[in-house]
Chains A and B, each alone.
Chain A
Amino acid sequence: MWLMPDGGLVASLDTLLQGDFASAEVLLFTTFHTPAPSDVLATYTAIEAAWTGYARQSPAPFDAASIDGDGHAFSYSALLSFPVTAVAGGTVVYGYAVLLGSDLLWAELLANRPVPEAGVPVTFKVRVFLANVPVA
């Protein structure tokens, strides 16, 4: 059996979120898409937000990892703030993707979907977690 205890989850997540991860970027996508295991970065760049003033944001720095009630090591990103100078009516932020260079790291279809308005940045934090899965 292989497993990563709580202390290892926290140490691994902290290690992961330092170093090269500091250059990761978060993009928003504004066309409905359900993330799938076969997705690649182009899946999301093709549906990336394009309103005036939009720019990808860095999720760094992340908080120090800790353990939640479900036994997940978790960490929150910095508060992301995507500027909105002008935006077409009906635009909805369906989710985000995290990328590092040419690698897609993960993507999420948000349950609470921001509707951008001119002059009001879209803000949220990304929560990343590492959970233990004992392997028989």
Chain B
Amino acid sequence: MQVVPLYSRVALLDLLTPALAAWVHLYTNDVALGWWTQKEDLVEPAVPGYAPQPIFGWQDAVLVGPFASAQSDPVMFTREDPADATVVQGYFLTNMQDGTLLCVEKSDLAPISFGNSGTPIVVLPRIQLRQQQGVTDEPLLPSIGAGGFRAGGSSTLDET
């Protein structure tokens, strides 16, 4: 049985976030999200003034119940011409501006009007880790360890 102790989840997340060169993007299409989701599935706003934004800093990870959570500094999106109605479903992070899709979050408030009233959208991107039930598998000689952790978060703990 493998366990990532509570404060270790914070330490792991604090190792990960500063090593990422993460960029934040908005997306507009109400697409089903899952393990299969790719960056190409997510449609960014095609409005003047919109552009992906780099994340310049992450706050130290903290424990939220059984999982570690890290939030970046706030990222603001504005548009230049708020004449037409554009809605946003959520945000996604890539590693580098146009690199691998790291994670995606659909807002609980979606669809969100983007700039129609002149109000910018502020995103607080997050990454979370929680305990993954560990197993020892695929034994080699004399043994092989299995350790791990999960990206994600919830209010439940899935430990044994």
The residues of A with any CB-CB pair to B shorter than 8 Å are 1-12, 15-16, 18-21, 34-40, 71-72, 74, 95-96, 98, 100, 103-114, 122-136
* B131 lies within 8 A of chain A by Cβ: yes
Residues of A contacting B136 in the complex (Cβ-Cβ under 8 angstroms): 108, 110-112
Please choose the segment from B51-59, B76-84, B112-120, B145-153 that sits at the chain A interface, where 4 or more of its residues have CB less than 8 A away: B145-153
Contacts of B36 in A (CB 8 A): 5-6
Q: Which residues of B contact A (CB under 8 A)?
A: 1-8, 11-12, 15-16, 19-20, 33-39, 66, 93, 95, 99-106, 126-128, 130-132, 134, 136-154, 157, 159
Query: Is the pair A3, B95 in contact by a Cβ cutoff of 8 Å?
Result: no
Question: Which listed residue, A4, A18, A103, A111, touches B152 by the CB 8 Å rule?
Answer: A4
Contacting B148 at CB < 8 Å: which of A8, A72, A125? A72
Q: Do B147 and A37 have beta carbons less than 8 Å apart?
A: no
Instruction: Report the minimum CB–CB distance from A116 to chain B (whole Å).
Output: 10
Q: Report whether A124 and B35 are in contact in the complex, using a CB–CB cutoff of 8 Å.
A: no
Q: A19-B15, A112-B142, A114-B142 are in contact. Are A131 and B151 (CB under 8 A)?
A: yes
4 additional contacts, CB 8 Å, given A8-B103, A12-B102? A10-B100, A11-B95, A40-B5, A110-B143
Given A3-B34, A15-B19, A123-B141, is A131 in contact with B132 using a C-beta cutoff of 8 Å? yes
Closest 5 CB pairs of A and B: A133-B152, A129-B148, A35-B3, A112-B143, A108-B2
- Which partner residue on chain A sits nearest B32 by CB separation? A1
Q: Are A132 and B35 in contact (CB under 8 A)?
A: yes
Asked if A129 and B146 sit within 8 Å, CB to CB, the answer is yes
Whose C-beta in chain A lies nearest to the C-beta of B102? A8
CB-defined contacts of A134 to chain B, threshold 8 Å? 33-34, 152
- Cα distance A102–B159 in the bound complex, in angstroms: 24
Q: Which of B102, B148, B153, B159 contacts A131 (CB 8 A)?
A: B148
| Interface contact B146-A108, CB-CB below 8 Å | yes
Distance, CA A80 to CA B103, complexed state (A): 32
Set A11, A18, A124, A136: member contacting B145, Cβ < 8 A:
A124
B145 touches A125 (CB 8 A): yes
B99 → A minimal CB distance (Å): 8
A74 touching B33 by the CB < 8 A rule?
A: no
Q: Are A3 and B103 in contact (CB under 8 A)?
A: yes
Cα A19 to Cα B141 in complex, Å, equals 29
By a CB distance below 8 angstroms, the chain B residues around A1 are: 33, 105-106
